[in-house]
Amino acid sequence: MLDRPAIFPLFPALVIAMALAACSPEDPHVLTDYRNHQRGAVAICYNEEKSTIEDVTAMANDICRQYDRVAHLTLLQSYQCSWTTPTQAYFACVPRPGESPPAVTPHLAPMRHDAPLPPG
């Protein structure tokens, strides 16, 4: 009869622990790309157990700051992203109160094979 290694009884527990670690909440991440940001739209996925709406708003503000604007929360939806980051927050990049910044100009050019951006 073959001798089993001493770790064999721990193998199922190790597999379960690895599976649970893979399901832990992720950090918030931006779902949209720079072309959406140029239009003033930012979507961020996050887990409400790990991050707050203030953290997510700060991320959106970092993106909107590139266009001399601030992030304004327009929509909050549950269960729209991945299982580990289920909540999706939509922001609009709007001018600061009392300011009238120039129109958003693209910082990055679209690729040659991309369709041109519509005006406005």
Q: How far apart are CA 94 and CA 73, in angstroms?
A: 10
Mean pLDDT of the chain: 79
The pTM is what? 0.66
Domain boundaries, the chain: 24-94
Which run of H or E residues covers position 19? helix 11-22
**pLDDT score for 32:** 85
Give the chain's residues under pLDDT 50: none
